[in-house]
């Protein structure tokens, strides 16, 4: 079979996917063949091979197919830029697997009576990538629309803007940490909380309820809590209380 393109079996073999997968991707419009032979056989050219590779990278990172299709369809989709993002995520995963191996070794040592395995040690390395988990939780707390709107806002940012937002967030956290010895209702603290709210609005626009919920999440979610406690011990609860006070008189913020 040599008809100016690869048949499904040839491509399936080359890419390590099933023929059924290729049929499925064609059916949903994710990967259409370049052409069809007179008998109706699918024929894939080089461009489809590269596209399938992009799809497989996103799939490897557990993106849903519908989302892959959407991203590939964006007018400003840049394959090289996407790949650079994937690299970071793959490196994170390798790091996770190393942590899992560490957990494994500690568990073997535990079974051999050589190590006392704590509950916290037991599950290190299992949790999926943090951003995906946080995204799921954000959906659970605030609904899907907010998360999508948040992603749209983030996606529209330039790299420079994104880095400025990152610096702004770190500055807010540092300023809050410096005010830890004050009452959460203190005017200086509340001023920083207002900056925090403005920072959040790079991502989404909270009302009083959802902002209060966010504060609670900072204190109660183990990953958020660990993050803030790492900035300064006591910061997670302090920020939660400061946000609660702020929400007692939630200013209408124009923007």
Q: Is 3 in the site for its own copies (CB under 8 A)?
A: no
Q: Is 245 in the site for its own copies (CB under 8 A)?
A: no
* Part of the chain binding its own copies (CB under 8 A), chosen from 65-73, 79-87, 145-153, 236-244: 79-87
Cα separation, 12 vs 10, in Å, equals 5
Q: What are phi and psi of 44, to 5 degrees?
A: -110, 135
Please give the DSSP secondary-structure letter assigned to residue 201. Answer: T
Nearest to its own copies of 126, 162 (CB atom): 126
Nearest to DNA of 36, 81 (CB atom): 36
Please give the DSSP secondary-structure letter assigned to residue 94. Answer: H
Cα separation, 34 vs 108, in Å, equals 52
Which residues, including other chains, have CB under 8 Å from residue 9's CB and lie 6 or more apart? 19
Q: Are 176 and 168 in contact (CB under 8 A)?
A: no
Q: Is 170 in the site for its own copies (CB under 8 A)?
A: no
Binding map of its own copies across residues 185-224, x = CB under 8 A, - = no contact: -------------------------------------x--
Among 2, 74, 114, 119, binds its own copies (CB under 8 A): 119
Query: How many chain residues are in contact with DNA, going by CB under 7 A?
Result: 27
Cα separation, 33 vs 25, in Å, equals 10
- Tell which positions 57-76 bind DNA, by CB under 7 A: 59, 64-66
Which DSSP string corresponds to 100-135? HHHHHHHHHHHHTTS----HHHHTTTTS--HHHHHH
Cα separation, 173 vs 122, in Å, equals 31
Binding site for its own copies (CB under 8 A): 13-17, 49-50, 53, 56-57, 60, 79-80, 83-84, 86-87, 90-91, 93-94, 97-98, 100-101, 104-105, 107-108, 111-112, 119-120, 122-123, 126-129, 133, 222
Binding site for DNA (CB under 7 A): 1, 7-10, 18-21, 23-24, 37-42, 59, 64-66, 136, 139-140, 216, 220, 226
């Amino acid at each position: 079979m040599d008809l100016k393109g690869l048949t499904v079996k040839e491509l399936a073999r080359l890419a390590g996917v099933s023929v059924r997968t290729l049929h499925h991707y064609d059916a949903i419009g994710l990967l259409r063949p370049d052409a069809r032979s007179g008998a109706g056989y699918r024929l894939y050219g080089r461009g489809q091979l590269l596209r399938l590779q992009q799809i497989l990278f996103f799939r490897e990172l557990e993106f849903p197919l519908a989302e892959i299709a959407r991203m590939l369809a964006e007018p400003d989709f840049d394959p090289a830029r996407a790949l650079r993002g994937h690299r970071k995520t793959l490196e994170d995963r390798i790091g996770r697997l190393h942590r899992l191996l560490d957990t494994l070794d500690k568990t073997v040592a535990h079974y051999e009576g050589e190590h006392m395995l704590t509950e916290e040690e037991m599950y290190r390395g299992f949790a999926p990538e943090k951003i995906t988990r946080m995204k799921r939780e954000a959906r659970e707390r605030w609904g899907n629309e907010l998360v999508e709107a948040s992603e749209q806002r983030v996606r529209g940012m330039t790299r420079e803007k994104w880095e400025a937002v990152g610096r702004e967030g770190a500055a807010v956290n540092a300023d809050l940490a410096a005010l830890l010895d004050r009452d959460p209702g203190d005017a200086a603290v509340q001023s920083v909380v207002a900056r925090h709210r403005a920072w959040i609005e790079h991502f989404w626009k909270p009302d009083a309820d959802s902002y209060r919920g966010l504060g609670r999440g900072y204190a109660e979610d183990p990953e958020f809590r660990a993050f803030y406690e790492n900035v300064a011990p006591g910061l997670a609860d302090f920020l939660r209380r400061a946000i609660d006070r702020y929400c007692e008189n939630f200013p209408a913020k124009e923007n």
